[in-house]
Amino acid sequence: MGTQVKDVIIKPDAPNTLLLDKHADYIAAYGSKKDDYEYTLSEYLRMSGIYWGLTVMDLMGQLSRMNREEIIEFIKSCQHDCGGISASIGHDPHLLYTLSAVQILSLYDSINVIDVEKVVDYVKGLQQEDGSFAGDKWGEIDTRFSFCAVATLALLGKLDEINMDKAVEFVLSCMNFDGGFGCRPDSESHAGQIYCCTGFLSITGQLHKVNADLLGWWLCERQLPSGGLNGRPEKLPDVCYSWWVLASLKIIGRIHWIDKAKLRSFILACQDEETGGFADRPGDMVDPFHTLFGVAGLSLLGDEQIKPVNPVFCMPEDVLQRVGLQPDLLS
Amino acid sequence: MSSVEEISNPVAENLEEDGVEEENTVEEAEMEYEEPVKGGYIFYRDRKEWADLEPVPQDDGPNPVVKIAYSEKCNKSSDCFGLQKGTKSVQVTCILHESVVFDVCRHYRRVLLQALDKDLREEMKYITAIIEDQPKNYQVWHHRRMVVEWLNDPSEELQFVAEILSQDAKNYHAWQHRQWVMQEYKLWDGELEYVEELLEEDVRNNSAWNQRHFVISHTSGYSDSAILEREVQYTLKQIKKAPHNESAWNYLNGILQDGGLSSYPGLLEQVTELQDTCSSPYLTAFLVDLYEDALETNSSSYDQQETLNKALELCKLLAEEKDTIRREYWNYVSRSLQNTYGSGDPVASSSDPPPPSSSQQPDTEPSDP
């Protein structure tokens, strides 16, 4: 029987050196043309887009090229009366964008420009009876939101404001027979969700509840012959999984189970030499999202041209040191 | 960027895993802009019951409730009206057939639906069309769930999800929705057959294997030995068709975890038999797990020393030949087995996890909370 493996083939002329200056130029210029079609259509996630751009610039030591004052004013205009923060002005608040906003303000050491107490109220208010978190008032439940809730509160130093035991109970109820996690109980294991759950368990000091060997094996099985990582069995590799899989492995102390050299060459091949930036896989269009996770992945692999990145928060380690956060990692 | 859904921070799901490029999707949306939405959808401006309302151009009006920036290219005819505050009754709803803007409008849609006592069947038609157009958006699926709840009618759901899965059998959101419907309304009948159909089409569909586990766990369970045997044989049959199939091996491992691999009657023989014709790293890995289980349970059916040797031999084979990309993992398993069950001195290796201070990260001391 032939072994059909879903994978990509990296062409011999694919980029194989890190083009940091080009990536910095790409991000710095992104969003300067505010009537650009693609930029416009992504307004619904603008806060996250800003977080991606700022974080990757900071990791590359280029944060000063971004417009701090404009961004801080923007965030102030996005906090609603309920305390939650929206993706953009006039949009509705959501836990996802509340976290992004708090991450940005942490980068800029300007947390107090927003009403922190109200943010805490908003996050608390989204916890359900079973310990899960809704994303907003409309009630979608997902372990992503459990992560967003505790990450936000940890950055604000207010972790004790929610029902921690129930929150942990819900996340653990999403652990599957393969050691992975899904978005809700019984959902298929998925690397993005696993990142959220291991990040959650790190922040809440519950990593000992993970079956690290079993999960570590599932995660290192994401590596394909091309060196790239996928998000679940029989899917194509994508550079953003260089973050979610790798960060998860780092959190559970098994990052060395990945073939680092092969992964690095896959990530580098996802660069666009002309425009700068990273795409999901070699030859595709770049965007800020994949650019952040490509660079962050390389940082986790030990590239010394990039600042060390924290695997739980996906923020520069020096920012977390300043905030005083040192989430647990397994060894 | 536009088709990257509801993502944030590191918490993101890029669902364009199968090569559908984000940029292409943006272009497609642009090209399809002036085409009618699929599924016989009728724009609100064309419906006679809304004929007395004046459409308001996009991004206009003194107090737009939903202010969305539009580029020149967007400002074409679309089924969108601006919401006006302060009117006696709600004039319009914001209806855009690009689900990315659905994310922005969804709150108003829902508020209006509840306030207007609108025909929710119409809303179901609407959300059906939107999901068909953009099936990888979290919000549209959650909206559908809300409509189903309000209607308390799941009768179309399994059929609808099956249609979406026929276009992409691994759509994560579709599977979530399906699981919710089945659990909420106890619609378990026929699902195992449906899963088997999907596995006939693609035996490597991990979502379908997960669903199999979901259905059985919530109905008969695996504790009945007849059911367990049925599942073991079914899985081995699929493995014979496609031995290099992570999902099938994961499933086999998963359902036998509680009982133990090494004690399951006839399993070792059946798997060993497959080695000649259906060899794969997964088969070899499964044997390692089986031998490890025999060692752990100190099974009397196995010679401990011989079992250890076999397991170590297979780990070496995987590390050096069959699964070299994961050599670090196989070396770890090998060392663990030797240290736990071997009679010699504990084995260490330079590739053991280094203590944190020697990692490439800066030497950080735990700080006080």
Cβ separation of A44 and B244 shorter than 8 Å? no
Q: Is the dihedral of CA A46, A50, A56, A62 positive or negative?
A: positive
Q: Is A96 on the interface with B (CB under 8 A)?
A: yes
Residues 303-342 on B with a CB inside 8 Å of A are: 325-329, 332
Q: Is B217 on the interface with A (CB under 8 A)?
A: yes
Q: A38 and B353 in contact by Cβ < 8 A?
A: no
Q: What is the largest CA-CA distance in chain A?
A: 62
Would you call A138 an interface residue with chain B, using a CB distance cutoff of 8 Å?
yes
| pLDDT value of position B104 | 60
Element (H, E) at A298: helix A288-300
Average pLDDT value for chain A: 95
Nearest to A221 by CA among A9, A3, A5, A4: A5
* Closest to A214 measured CA to CA, from A231, A194, A199: A194
What's the whole-number average pLDDT of chain B? 75
Distance CA B183, CA B344 (A): 53
Distance, CA of A234 to CA of B195 (rounded, Å): 17
Percent of chain A with pLDDT over 70: 98
- Chain B residues within 8 A of A329 when measuring between CB atoms: 356
In a domain, A12, yes or no: no
pLDDT of residue B80: 39
- B206/A36 CB distance under 8 A: no
Q: How many residues does chain B have?
A: 369
Contact A217 B10 (CB under 8 A): no
For A74-110, the DSSP string reads HHHTTB-TTS-BBSSTTSPB-HHHHHHHHHHHHHTT-
Q: Which of A188, A219, A213, A168 is nearest to A330 (CA)?
A: A213
In chain A, residues 43-82 whose CB comes closer than 8 Å to chain B: 43-45, 47-49, 51-52
Question: Which position has the higher pLDDT, B353 or A83?
Answer: A83
> Per-residue pLDDT for A173 more than 70?
yes
A277 touches B at CB < 8 Å: no
Contact between A223 and B326 (Cβ < 8 Å): yes
Nearest residue on chain A to B279, alpha-carbon basis: A1
Count the residues in chain A. 331
Q: CB–CB of A196 and B11 under 8 A?
A: yes
Range of the domain at A191: 20-323
Interface of A with B in 145-204 (CB under 8 A): 147-148, 151, 176-178, 183-184, 186-190, 192, 195-196, 199
∠ CA(B168), CA(B170), CA(B176), 5° rounding? 115
| Crossing angle of helices B138-151 and B120-133, rounded to 10° | 160
Do B8 and A51 count as a contact with CB atoms less than 8 A apart? yes
Whether B73 sits inside 8 A of A190 (CB atoms) is: no
Contact, A75 vs A105, CB < 8 A?
A: yes
Q: Please judge whether B364 and A326 are an interchain contact, meaning their C-beta atoms are less than 8 angstroms apart.
A: yes
Residue among A45, A139, A301 minimizing CB distance to B7: A45
Give just the sign of the alpha carbon dihedral A167, A168, A173, A176.
positive
- pLDDT, residue B200, reads 96
pLDDT of residue A42: 86
What is the distance between the alpha carbons of residues A237 and A270, in angstroms, rounded to a whole number? 11
Q: Does B140 touch chain A (CB under 8 A)?
A: no
User: What is the structure's pLDDT at B25?
Assistant: 33
DSSP per-residue codes, B285-323:
HHHHHHHHHHHHTT-TTS-HHHHHHHHHHHHHHIIIII-
Judged by CB atoms closer than 8 Å, whether chains meet at B9 and A148 is answered as: yes
pLDDT at B163: 97
ipTM reported for the complex, 2 dp: 0.93
Residues in chain A with CB shorter than 8 Å from the CB of B65 are 90
**Interfacial B residues in 29-68 facing A (CB < 8 Å):** 29-30, 65-68
Counted across chains A and B, CB pairs separated by less than 8 A come out at: 243
Contact assessment for residue B27 and residue B73, using Cβ atoms and an 8 Å cutoff:
no
Residue A225, domain member (yes or no): yes
**Residue A4 within any structural domain of the chain:** no
Interchain contact B125–A (C-beta under 8 A): no
Residue of B136, B170, B241, B316 marked catalytic: B136
Tell me whether residue B88 is one of the annotated catalytic residues: no
Number of domains in chain A: 1
Q: pLDDT at residue A243 above 70?
A: yes
- Angle, in degrees to the nearest 10, between helices A68-76 and A46-59: 150
Stretches where chain B sits below pLDDT 50 are 1-40, 55-100, 354-369
In a domain, A328, yes or no: no
Q: Are A284 and A26 in contact (CB under 8 A)?
A: no
Read off the pTM. Answer: 0.83
| Within a domain: A13 | no
Of B55 and A25, more confident: A25
User: Is B188 part of the contact surface with chain A (CB cutoff 8 Å)?
Assistant: no
pLDDT at A178 over 50: yes
Q: Is residue A10 part of a domain?
A: no
Is residue A8 one of the residues assigned to a domain? no
Question: How far is it, in rounded angstroms, from Cα A267 to Cα A307?
Answer: 17
Q: What is the mean pLDDT of residues A294-299?
A: 98
Task: Output the domain CATH number for residue A303.
Answer: 1.50.10.20
Determine contact: A231 vs chain B, CB below 8 A. Answer: yes
Which tens digits make up the pLDDT trace of A95-122?
999 999 999 999 999 999 999 999 999 9
- HSE value, Cβ hemisphere, 13 Å, CA-based, for B158: 15
Higher pLDDT, A41 or A52: A52
Residue in chain A lying closest to B13 (CA): A192
A5 lies in some domain: no
Q: Give contacts of B139 with chain A, Cβ < 8 Å.
A: 140
